[in-house]
């Protein structure tokens, strides 16, 4: 349920409502807008009569939120969430482009890509140090050494880094190095991991599970939000369908649909969404046209030699061309790059 306070509600009236909500065993989540305060009643409030709150001083109305996600919902937070990560804005008019290799493979590799994507205009450097691989015999990532190399690349380029964390026990270590914690598609419903990243002060990039519905993605985000972390970025990265020509089917519908349902920023991953490097740029542009707030794109200095996802990583020149195209595409779409 949300409790919408009157425009002129006083601090004392707001505090009294919060006290009432908490006295009933719920958590009160305050959203202070420019005009008025909205109080989210968090918990299973189904049996509660909204009239109980509507009788309190300063309350304009109390509305049950019928959707299963609350903090993620636009009903609760009508305006787009915009947050800033080391000076880089996510959400709002500006597009945020994250780029880098699938995995950190060596010092030379990560530094070379970091400089190349920075030069091309990327805002955030990606790179996996802990890789969720289908086979236990495949390259699993450099682990802690990979995180150290990412930190070195940040030092050299100034780009904030996004990297995946796979286990709740690893969250504090990864959060020590990363500027954004990535929760991968395979872990979208690892609830212990969602709770753990929800308890950090680092923004979280939450990727849609390959078999997850939009509602399941938003419920996963709700786990992070309800643990106190309001900075969640959602990512459409393709889902499994009967189509085998591409690695996944990037669900373009999901981008505007998720933006209708939630205030959280939404980005797209055309690399995993297609699995084919020569489809990445056209699909990337489609995602921006559909309203994505940014992209995460895999770039490798020599994709054929990559230790993972060879077929989908872009050579730096191809990424630079995509950035040029996006700079031309952004203004007519009302976006900035
Ligand atoms: C990745 O970003 O490298 C990755 C493993 O992505 P996903 O979790 O979407 O498969
Ligand atoms: Mn990858």
Q: Is 270 in the pocket of ligand 1 (CB under 6 A)?
A: no
266 near 259, Cβ under 8 Å?
Answer: yes
pTM: 0.93
pLDDT value of residue 45: 76
5 near 32, Cβ under 8 Å?
Answer: no
Q: Is 91 in the pocket of ligand 1 (CB under 6 A)?
A: no
3-state secondary structure of 262: strand
What does the alpha-carbon distance between residue 105 and residue 128 come to, in Å, rounded to a whole number?
9
3 Cα–ligand 1 center, Å? 38
User: What is the domain partition of the chain in residue ranges?
Assistant: 2-63, 83-333
- Residue 309 alpha carbon, nearest atom of ligand 1: 3
Residues with CB under 5 A from ligand 2 (ion): 102, 309
pLDDT value of residue 246: 98
pLDDT value of residue 175: 98
Mutational pocket test of ligand 1: of 140, 185, 251, the residue with most ligand atoms within 8 Å of the beta carbon = 185
By percentage, how much of the chain surpasses pLDDT 90? 89
What does the alpha-carbon distance between residue 294 and residue 93 come to, in Å, rounded to a whole number?
10
**pLDDT digit string, tens, across residues 30-86:** 988 888 899 999 888 777 889 999 999 999 999 888 788 989 999 888 899 999 998
The domain 2-63 is classified under which CATH number: 2.30.30.180, 3.40.50.20, 3.30.70.1140, 3.40.50.280? 3.30.70.1140
What does the alpha-carbon distance between residue 183 and residue 109 come to, in Å, rounded to a whole number?
23
Q: Is 103 in the pocket of ligand 1 (CB under 6 A)?
A: no
Q: Is 29 in the pocket of ligand 1 (CB under 6 A)?
A: no
Nearest to 296 by CA among 133, 98, 89, 16: 98
**pLDDT digit string, tens, across residues 202-245:** 999 999 999 999 999 999 999 999 999 999 999 999 999 999 99
**pLDDT digit string, tens, across residues 286-332:** 999 999 999 999 999 999 999 999 999 999 999 999 999 999 999 99
What does the alpha-carbon distance between residue 185 and residue 216 come to, in Å, rounded to a whole number?
12
Q: Is 184 in the pocket of ligand 1 (CB under 6 A)?
A: yes
Q: Is 128 in the pocket of ligand 1 (CB under 6 A)?
A: yes
The domain 83-333 is classified under which CATH number: 2.40.128.30, 3.20.20.70, 3.40.50.300, 3.40.50.1980? 3.20.20.70
133 Cα–ligand 2 center, Å? 9
Higher pLDDT, 27 or 236: 236
pLDDT value of residue 308: 96
230 Cα–ligand 2 center, Å? 26
Instruction: Estimate the crossing angle of helix 107-120 against helix 316-329, to 10 degrees.
Output: 20
| Element of type H or E holding 83 | strand 83-85
185 near 168, Cβ under 8 Å?
Answer: no
């Amino acid at each position: 349920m949300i409790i919408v306070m009157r425009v002129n509600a006083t601090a004392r009236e707001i505090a009294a409502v919060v006290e009432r909500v908490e006295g009933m065993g719920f958590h009160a989540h305050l959203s202070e807008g420019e005009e008025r305060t909205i109080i989210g009643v968090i918990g299973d409030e189904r049996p509660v009569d909204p009239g109980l709150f509507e009788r309190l001083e300063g309350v304009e109305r109390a509305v049950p939120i019928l959707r299963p996600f609350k903090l993620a919902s636009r009903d609760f937070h009508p305006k787009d969430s915009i947050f800033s990560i080391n000076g880089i804005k996510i959400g709002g008019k500006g597009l945020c482009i994250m780029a880098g290799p699938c995995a950190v493979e060596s010092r030379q590799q990560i530094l070379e890509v970091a400089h190349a994507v920075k030069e091309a205009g990327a805002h955030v450097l990606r790179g996996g140090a802990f890789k969720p691989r289908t086979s236990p015999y495949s390259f699993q990532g450099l682990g802690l050494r990979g995180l150290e190399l990412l930190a070195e690349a940040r030092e050299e380029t100034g780009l904030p880094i996004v990297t995946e964390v796979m286990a709740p026990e690893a969250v504090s270590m990864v959060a020590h190095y990363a500027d954004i914690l990535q929760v991968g598609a395979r872990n979208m419903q690892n609830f212990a991991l969602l709770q753990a990243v929800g308890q950090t002060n680092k923004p979280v990039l939450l990727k849609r599970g390959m078999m997850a519905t939009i509602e399941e993605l938003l419920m996963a985000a709700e786990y992070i939000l309800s643990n106190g972390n309001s900075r969640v970025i959602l990512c459409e990265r393709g889902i499994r369908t009967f189509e085998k020509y591409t690695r996944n089917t990037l669900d373009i519908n999901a981008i505007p649909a998720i933006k209708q349902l939630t205030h959280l920023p939404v980005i797209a991953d055309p690399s995993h969404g297609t699995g084919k490097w020569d489809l990445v740029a056209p699909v990337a542009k489609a995602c921006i046209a559909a309203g994505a707030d940014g992209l995460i794109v895999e770039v490798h200095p020599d994709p054929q030699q990559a230790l993972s996802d060879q077929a989908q990583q872009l050579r730096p020149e191809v990424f630079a061309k995509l950035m040029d195209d996006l700079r031309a595409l952004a203004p007519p779409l009302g976006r900035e790059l």
